[in-house]
């Protein structure tokens, strides 16, 4: 088992391929625990300034991932795979995984039955890290391992005039019946962001792992409209934080009477 006293001695190789930037975010957080780390990913865009000793390598989807991993066995002792024990496309070979020791799976919640051979894949790892806390774990006992706490980035609140509501996500996915419930002064944010406008409430069009933990860490009044995802049950996560918006009536009840910004400032 890998302990916190062990990781500073290791060079870690991270598999963070997936459909979103959340895989890389978790890898960046965890990579700071290692002496050096290389993160293999498939995301577009930049991730800002990297800490010393951490590098990102973007793989083309057509590349041989097993070959890419095996090329790093000399320089890296530990393999850390995010979410999918066999890789996002079931492409990881048992022989490739076995080239590393220790072998760590960061077991973000995956909807049971959505990913083939999940339980079998767990057997190829020496350590299972659960990126959550015991009271917030969505696995409900189906997967056991070491709790390492949420692994999400830290975002900040902008200074300035308070908005009545901020909506995060693609506004085209928001039904018209929902839009009519929002205050006129609602601010919409789409795409990657580092800061949130100062706001009375935040509505997220999605309840993915990262956004839920980011907003929880901020302590803002937040609610979530879950989206259907192949591997992730966002409805489970949104219900856990007791802010699941499943209808326009839910949204109206959550918004309630908006407090006057001037009176709040007093």
**266 pLDDT higher than 60:** no
Beta-bridge partners for 113: none
Pick the CATH number of 7-147 from 3.40.50.2000, 3.30.460.10, 3.30.1330.40, 1.10.150.650: 3.40.50.2000
Q: What is the pLDDT of residues 188-199, one digit of tens each?
A: 998 888 889 999
More confident residue, 253 or 194: 253
Structure tokens at 109: 């919640």
Other Cβ atoms less than 10 A from the Cβ of 60: the count is: 7
Structure tokens at 17: 């391929």
Question: Whole-model pTM?
Answer: 0.89
Asked which of 5-9, 33-37, 75-79, 165-169 is least confident by mean pLDDT, the reply is 5-9
* CA 172-229-254 angle, 5° bins: 60
Q: What pLDDT score was predicted for residue 258?
A: 53
Contact status, residue 13 vs residue 38, Cβ threshold 8 Å: yes
Domain ranges of the chain: 7-147, 156-265
Share of the chain above pLDDT 90, in %: 71
Q: What is the pLDDT of residues 122-146, one digit of tens each?
A: 999 999 999 999 988 999 889 999 9
């Amino acid at each position: 088992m890998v302990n916190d006293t062990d990781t500073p001695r290791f060079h870690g190789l991270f598999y963070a391929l997936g459909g979103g930037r959340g895989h890389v975010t978790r890898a960046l957080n965890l990579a700071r625990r290692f002496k050096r780390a290389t993160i293999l990913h498939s995301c577009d865009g930049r991730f800002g300034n990297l800490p010393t000793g951490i590098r990102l390598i973007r793989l083309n989807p057509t590349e041989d991932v097993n070959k890419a991993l095996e090329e790093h066995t000399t320089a890296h002792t530990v393999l850390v795979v995010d979410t999918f024990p066999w890789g996002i496309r079931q492409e990881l070979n048992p022989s490739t995984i076995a080239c590393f020791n220790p072998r760590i799976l960061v077991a973000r919640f995956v909807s049971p039955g959505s990913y083939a051979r999940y339980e079998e894949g767990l057997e190829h790892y020496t350590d299972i890290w659960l990126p959550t806390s015991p009271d917030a774990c969505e696995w409900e006992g189906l997967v056991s391992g070491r709790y390492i706490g949420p692994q999400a980035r830290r975002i900040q609140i902008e200074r300035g005039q308070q908005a009545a509501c901020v909506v995060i996500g693609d506004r085209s996915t928001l039904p018209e019946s929902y839009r009519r419930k929002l205050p006129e002064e609602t601010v919409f944010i789409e795409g990657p962001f580092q800061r949130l406008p100062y706001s009375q409430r935040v509505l997220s069009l999605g309840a993915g792992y990262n956004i839920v933990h980011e907003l929880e860490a901020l302590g803002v009044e937040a609610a979530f409209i879950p989206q259907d995802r192949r591997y992730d049950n966002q409805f489970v996560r949104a219900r856990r934080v007791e802010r699941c918006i499943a209808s326009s009536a839910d949204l109206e009840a959550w918004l309630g009477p908006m407090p006057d910004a001037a009176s709040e400032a007093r």
